[in-house]
Every structure is written in C-alpha cells, then in structure tokens.
Amino acid sequence: MHKTYKKYLGLIVFSVGGLLLLVLFHAFSPGSISGVDIRPRPGSPIKKLLEKKIQDIASGYRDIVYHIKEEVACRLAQNTCVCLADEKTFQLPFSNLFFQRVWAHKLDIAFLESHPDPEGVKRHRAQEYNSFKKRSYSPADVLIVAEANSPLQYPTQGVEVRPLKTIIIPGLGLKEETRSNHTVCLTATLGTFDVAATVDNVSVKGEGEKRMILSSPLLSALNRQLQFVTYRNTVFHPKTADIVEFATEGHQSFFTIKIEHGTIPKLYNSGYQREYNISALVTIATKTFLRYDKLKDLIDSIRKYYPTVTMVIADDSEHPQPVRGPYIEHYIMPFGKGWFAGRNLAVSQVTTKYVLWVDDDFIFTANTKLEKMVEILEETTLDLVGGAVREVTGYTATYRHTISVEEGGEEGNCLHIRKGYHHVIEGFPNCVVADAIINFFMGRTDKVQQVGFNPRLARAAHLEFFIDGLGILHIGSCNDVIVSHASKITLPWGETDAQKAYKQFRYSSSNSDRNIHNEVFYFKNRFKCMTSQ
C-alpha cells in the first residue's frame, strides 16, 4: 500500500513537473512555430466570386430601355486619358499672360525614344507596377454589395471617387413586393446625385442636389434607373469619405464613398535583370561620429564583397576627416547634430529601391548575403527585413520584439513591447514577422522615408522608429543574414582621444535627454504608460 502510494505520488510530481516545464516553455517561447504565407496574392477565390456577383447584378434589367443623359455621362471617368495640348489659335504680345494655354509633354515618347532598350524598360516598368499593385492591395478596397435583405441593396465597401469627380454608384437596388408605387431616397453631405441615363416610367427629383428621390410604379424600371445613379463630389478634400443614406419606406441604410486621389506609385528603374543586381537595387547607409577607424574597417569589408554598391555616410564630427573612394557619398552635418538626424540625411539621399542600414562599427563577412534580403523583399509584402548581428563573443542577436498599443482613455494610451515575434514566414524558414528588429536592416526606401526618424533623438534611439512605423511598416527578421560587430573592448590606457570623445558624447546620460524621450512618448505619441520586457 505504501509503495503504491509512493508510485502514484511520483507520477503526480512528474506530471506536474512536466506540465510546469511546458508552461514555462510556452511562456518564454519567442513566437508561434506555424508558418504564414505573406507573398502577394490579390487574385483570391473570394474576390473572383464577388466580381462575378457584381457582374450578375449589373446585367439585370437589360431589356428595359434607357436614354443617355450626356451632360452627366460625360463627367464619368473613361479610363482613357490622352495627352492633348491646347491649340494655338492666335499670337499677340503678352498673350500667354492673359490666355493660359495647357501644354502637353508625352513622357513615353520623350523617354523611350532615347533609351537603348525601350522594350526592356517597358517590361521592367510593367513588372515593377504589378509588384507595387500586389503590395498595395487591400481586401478593404474590394467592392462588396449587400444584396437586398432589408429590402435595400447597396455597396458596403469598395466605392471610390476622385475629389470633385463623378462616378456611377454600383449595386443600388430595391427588392420588395409589388405595390402601387416604389420609392427610394439618397442623401449625401459632400456631393450631389444625378442620373447618367433616364428610364421611362421613373420619376427623378433632386437631380444635381444632395438629396434625390426616385419613384416608379414599376419595380423593374426603378431598379434599372438605379443602375445609372451618379455621385459627384463637390467639396474638395484629398482624402476623406462621404456617408450616404439610402432609404425607402420603413427602411434605412448607410454606406460610404471614399473620396481620395489615387495612389501615385513610386517605382525604381533598376534595370531588368534575371538575377538581383545588388549595386542597382541597394544603397548602404550609415551615420558616423568620430569613429573613422571603425568606418574604414566597415568600408573595407563591404568592398570585399560588394565593390560597386553605393555608400551614403552622414557625419556630424566636429572636425570631419575626408572619406573618399569610389561609390562613396560623404555628407557633413553640423557638429553633434545627432543619431536620428544623421539617419534622415543618409536615407534622404538614397535613390535605389532599397536601403540597407548599418552601424559604422559593423563588419561584413561571407554570411552578410544582401541577396537574401532582396529576395524576401521582392517575393513578399514585407517593407523591411532585418538580419542578425554577431558579437565578438560569438553570440548572435536578432532583437525581435512585438509592439501593441492599448486604448487608455482621456489620459492617453498604453504602449506594450514584448520580446518575440508573430509567426514564421512560409517559404523562408529562417525568417519571422515582428514589429521591431535589430539595427541592421534593409527596407524599401520610400517606406523608410515615409516613417522617418525624429531628429530630436540625438544620442540614443532605436525603438522610436519602429513605434512610429507601427501600422505603416510590415517587418520581417531573418537570422541567416549575419553581420559582425567590431569589438567594443578597449583598455583604458590604450584609448585614443577620439575614442574618449566618442564615449563622452555617446554614453552621456543627462536629465534633458531622458526628458526628451519622455516627452516624445507622452506628448508626440500620446502614451501615458509603457511596458516592456
């Protein structure tokens, strides 16, 4: 009996211990082991199904006759823009001052006729644009029509109009039992309604106004007329939305029309290549201060593996030394201007598709494969991908963190920073998705410039960039692209004057510096609390 008791007690202890180990492993696990495919794939089956449903809705009531209303229909976008200049009718002294003419410049002809490979550059441009569309695609932009259940039928999302332009509102309809008269009403705030064509037996009141009423004794005729209802934006705003009320007797619904300019793509003409041309795709950027010996080691290591990649160096040393060499751009800043100000300057001068950020005391090795970083940026929706930094001790760091913001009411929000990542990237087993990564990363130049670096943060800053980029940057981290970190160990009697001066500036911690960081988080970002691991 006693032995049996001890046996069961041992099993219980073993089970509890094993359970505790599992809990601890889960608690300290850096992230999920499941892989997620983040490659661009806008052509989903659901999108195709929605497009078919829209086509079916639009094809209804084709047998009902309509009459084009030219003064409205001519304002609709034709998606066939042409490059036409005003004709020169007469020439008088100073006529250009009083009669402003529209000029036209055919960019395709002007550029392609002088290019040695016009067909190649056209293919490359189309490839870049397709990649841009895939990256910028959002399911929230897909047109969805709520088929009549209420009995109103209307678009729930995906309706857009350019500022001060006109569109046909897709998907409007009324599905109800036959009665003596069928009526619907549309009301807007930032635009007016009209019809691009008229249908017999339909009464339309309020054309060209913010409120329009349509009625007919024939439900089919009314639904046909609703297929020609237009919306014209009349209040200019570059990015906003109008909430439209769509109502019938006893029922009321609302939908939004987004009012915004189309996104202007930023494409980089790096030349069409079957293999990645790193020199044409990537610029290496760094910020230096006094450490010219470290900077020289960095440049030498880069030139060993990438002899023709451009380097942009921002330098705020008090007595800057010349840094010369092929493919080097050295920019002098005011003395002590600071860390993030230097980052802004360096990144602002990058003209390639990607920018690689490195510290001035890094050293490239055979494991610093920039081609791998380019590959993942080309093949996924990521905007930024980091690598790993190997210290002289042999320890390799990736500095992966997740960032979240919790609503906090009138006093501000709470910022939560945790070690770890979100998920593994399918197809890239050594890469994960995170919100903050180490200070060795490659990013899309336009996205890094969009977030920018707060120039008030002069001596020490890192996470601030990723906090500002939350919701803007899609970030990954790969542990198989490794750069080495130069040794920071120096004996006190072997320090140079430059090293002493650098330490004095770099590691000085004053109340004003701490206050700036507190102010940035509290005031600029409106946080009342920050938690971190």
Q: Which residue has the higher pLDDT, 85 or 254?
A: 254
Q: Which residue has the higher pLDDT, 387 or 32?
A: 387
Q: Which residue has the higher pLDDT, 125 or 318?
A: 318
Structure-token pair, residue 267: 């494409």
Task: Name the average pLDDT for the chain.
Answer: 83
153-157's contacts with Cβ under 8 Å and 24+ in sequence apart are 153/57, 154/246, 154/253, 154/255, 155/255, 156/255, 157/255, 157/256
pLDDT tens digits, one per residue of 122-145: 888 788 888 877 776 665 666 777
User: For residue 372, what pLDDT is reported?
Assistant: 95
- Average pLDDT over every residue of 190-200: 95
Q: Tell me the percentage of the chain whose pLDDT exceeds 90.
A: 51
Q: Distance between CA atoms of 339 and 455, rounded to whole angstroms? A: 8
Q: Distance between CA atoms of 517 and 508, rounded to whole angstroms? A: 14
Displacement of CA 373 from its chain's centroid (Å):
18
Residue 24 has pLDDT above 70, yes or no: no
User: For residue 470, what pLDDT is reported?
Assistant: 94
**Nearest to 194, CA basis, from 225, 221, 173, 218:** 225
What are the DSSP calls for 163-213, one per residue? TT-EEEPTT-EE-----S-EEEEEE-SSEEEEESEEETT-EEE-TTBSEEE
**Nearest to 200, CA basis, from 68, 70, 72, 67:** 67
Residue 283 has pLDDT above 70, yes or no: yes
- Average pLDDT over every residue of 10-35: 45
Do the Cβ atoms of 532 and 426 come closer than 8 Å? no
- Average pLDDT over every residue of 392-399: 90
Q: Give the DSSP H/E element, type plus range, for residue 38.
A: none
Q: Tell me the percentage of the chain whose pLDDT exceeds 70.
A: 79
Do the Cβ atoms of 448 and 355 come closer than 8 Å? yes
In three-state secondary structure terms, 501 is helix
- Average pLDDT over every residue of 157-166: 93
User: For residue 498, what pLDDT is reported?
Assistant: 65
What are the DSSP calls for 276-307, one per residue? --HHHHEEEEEEESS-HHHHHHHHHHHHHH-T
**Nearest to 155, CA basis, from 168, 170, 167, 165:** 170
Considering only CA atoms, give the Rg of the chain. 31
Name every residue whose Cβ is closer than 8 Å to that of residue 150 and which is 6 or more positions away in sequence.
251, 253
Handedness of CA 484, 485, 491, 497 (dihedral sign): positive
User: For residue 503, what pLDDT is reported?
Assistant: 63
Do the Cβ atoms of 342 and 433 come closer than 8 Å? no
User: Which CATH class for the 45-74+139-260 domain?
Assistant: mainly beta
- Average pLDDT over every residue of 269-294: 90
User: For residue 191, what pLDDT is reported?
Assistant: 94
How many residues in the chain?
Answer: 533
Q: Look up the pTM and report it.
A: 0.77
Residue 22 has pLDDT above 70, yes or no: no
User: For residue 515, what pLDDT is reported?
Assistant: 75
- Average pLDDT over every residue of 480-499: 73
Do the Cβ atoms of 505 and 403 come closer than 8 Å? no
User: For residue 42, what pLDDT is reported?
Assistant: 62
**Nearest to 386, CA basis, from 301, 467, 327, 466:** 466
Residue 349 has pLDDT above 90, yes or no: yes
User: For residue 532, what pLDDT is reported?
Assistant: 84
Residue 192 has pLDDT above 90, yes or no: yes
* 78-92, 412-426, 466-480: segment of lowest average pLDDT: 78-92
User: For residue 97, what pLDDT is reported?
Assistant: 58
Residue 5 has pLDDT above 50, yes or no: no
Q: Distance between CA atoms of 360 and 486, rounded to whole angstroms? A: 9
User: For residue 491, what pLDDT is reported?
Assistant: 53
User: What are the boundaries of each domain within the chain?
Assistant: 45-74+139-260, 281-532
Which architecture does CATH list for 281-532?
Alpha-Beta Complex (3.90)
- Average pLDDT over every residue of 412-439: 93
- Average pLDDT over every residue of 389-416: 89
User: For residue 137, what pLDDT is reported?
Assistant: 67
Q: Distance between CA atoms of 287 and 290, rounded to whole angstroms? A: 10
Rounded to a whole number of angstroms, the distance between the first and last alpha carbons of the chain is: 49
Residue 20 has pLDDT above 80, yes or no: no
DSSP code, position 272: -
Q: Distance between CA atoms of 191 and 229, rounded to whole angstroms? A: 13
User: For residue 451, what pLDDT is reported?
Assistant: 95
